[in-house]
Structure 1
Amino acid sequence: MSKIGEKIVKIFLNLLSVVVIALAIFGAWSLYQMFHGPEAELVTNPGKRLFGTTEKRIVTKAEVETKIYEIGELSTYSGEYNIKKTVDESRYIFDDIKIPGTKNTISLECTGKVKIGYNMSDIEVSVNDSTIHVKIPKGNVMSNYLIWDSIKSSEKNSIFNPINFEQYRKLINEIEEEGLKEVEAKGIYTRADENFKSIIKVFLAEFKDYDIEFTFAYDK
């Protein structure tokens, strides 16, 4: 092949390369405009969804209830109380006259703990286009007990009226009742509700396209 022919072939190949590159750039730009340009349109039909678009997951009430109810019971807050209580007991005649020398005394000082929780089957759920509504029931006292290592006791016995187990049981019950009132006055139910919200949000985190709204099934 002559030198002139070689030059013509090189020129032709160079022009062809430029045309190919130009077509590639034009094609890429057209695709970009199709999916990202001002006229791009979100397709929500899963059968016709275009590459690069996203769909909102549709969440049902049954899905949310299943997620919540599988928890069973949930303890969300515990409050402590410290009570000191002393009781005396004497024997009587004619119901109102104390018999001298029959007085015994028990004194207890101890720390107790109250746990508040929820039965998840009591929770009401509803779902609309963008929000999961959760109605919170009133928290239940799941446990109320004394921490035995904390108990300090003293007693004064009487040989005519020995202290018996029933007196201790009655005193412990009274302490637990007073302790419950103490932690209730400090807002144990409100704190349990706030922790409940935080925990439920974690359990429902997979439904990220939905807001979670809480209401109460009781008067606060």
Structure 2
Amino acid sequence: MKNLKKVLFGVVFILIAFVGGMFFANKQTEPEITSTLIQNRIEQASDLVTTKYHYAKVGKFENSLSLNGWSIPLTNKYFILTFEGEIQLGTDLSKANVEINDSTIHVTVNKPTVLSNSIDESSIEVYDETKNIFNPISVSDYKAFAFEQKEKALSEAKKKGLLKTAQKNTEKSIKEIISIIPDTDDYTIEVTFKE
């Protein structure tokens, strides 16, 4: 009878130890929400592209040789181009700053900037190109014109509110990244942009 009591006591003790161990093991595996944890998750996104702006344009290049501010006759050259391009805006999340106060996660990041502005070379078509022997069209004319057109497209996009859209998209993306982390449902997420 004494041996049976010892065996039962041993089995109960082992069960209690096992259940207790499982309880504490589960407690330890739950991630604690810290600013470092959130910072690491955000930094994994690195350069976050939040906004893409596609444009299609027609542009005309024209110039002529000049002497003392006067245009020289018969040296006029011009061409018309159609092309497509894309502007990508985003922010570098490796420079994000995260703070947790009570139930609020504060994330501060740089304002979105232009990550790229490129013309799709396969989309370029040239129309109405002059063949002027006195002032021939050169590769540098095309390059300078393409650069000018990209700057115009960017300026137009900014006037249409592209930077504000990029900020809204960046804020939304950061909130989505943080909401994937377990146990962040009870937190309010605030995103601010550095001036």
Counterparts of 2:31 and 2:65 in 1: how far apart (Å)? 74
CA-based RMSD: 2.3
Paired position in structure 1 for 2:191: 214
Q: CA deviation at 1:57?
A: 6.7
Which protein has the larger Cα radius of gyration, Structure 1 or Structure 2?
Answer: 1
Secondary structure in 1 matching 2:146: helix
The equivalent of 1:80 in structure 2 is 54
Q: Which residue of 2 aligns with 1:204?
A: 178
Write out per-residue CA displacement over residues 81-132 of structure 1, whole angstroms, 9 at most, x where no aligned residue: 2332212121223x32322221110211222210001111232221111010
Q: How far apart, in 2, do the equivalents of 1:98 and 1:192 lie?
A: 44
Residue type at the aligned position of 1:110: F
> Normalising by structure 1, what TM-score?
0.68
Of 78, 98, 102, 2:75 maps to: 102
Specify the SS of the correspondent of 1:204. helix
**Structure 2 counterpart of 1:153:** 126
Gaps of 5+ in 1: 1-48, 50-55
Counterpart code for 2:44? E
Do the aligned partners of 1:57 and 1:209 also contact (CA within 8 Å) in 2?
no
**Cα offset, 1:145, TM superposition:** 1.0
Three-state SS of the structure 2 residue aligned to 1:101 is coil
2:91 to 100, 118, 121: 118
Letter matched to residue 193 of structure 1: Q
Greater strand fraction, Structure 1 or Structure 2: 2
Matched length: 165
Amino acid at match of 2:120: I
Q: For the residues of structure 1 that align with 2:62 and 2:169, how far apart are their CA atoms?
A: 41
Unaligned runs of 5+ in 2: 1-22, 24-29
User: Which letter does structure 2 place at the counterpart of 1:212?
Assistant: I
Percent of aligned pairs sharing the same letter:
31
Aligned to 1:28: none
Letter in 2 for 1:130: S
**What is the DSSP-based 3-state SS (H/G/I as helix, E as strand, rest coil) of the residue aligned with 2:141?**
helix
SS in 1 for 2:134: coil
Please state how far the C-alpha of 1:65 moved relative to its aligned partner.
Answer: 1.0
In structure 1, give the amino acid aligned to 2:112. G
CA deviation map 1:129-176 (0-9, x unaligned): 101011232111111011234323221120111110111111000100
Out of 144, 159, 166, the residue aligned to residue 140 of structure 2 is 166
Instruction: State TM-score, norm by structure 2.
Output: 0.76
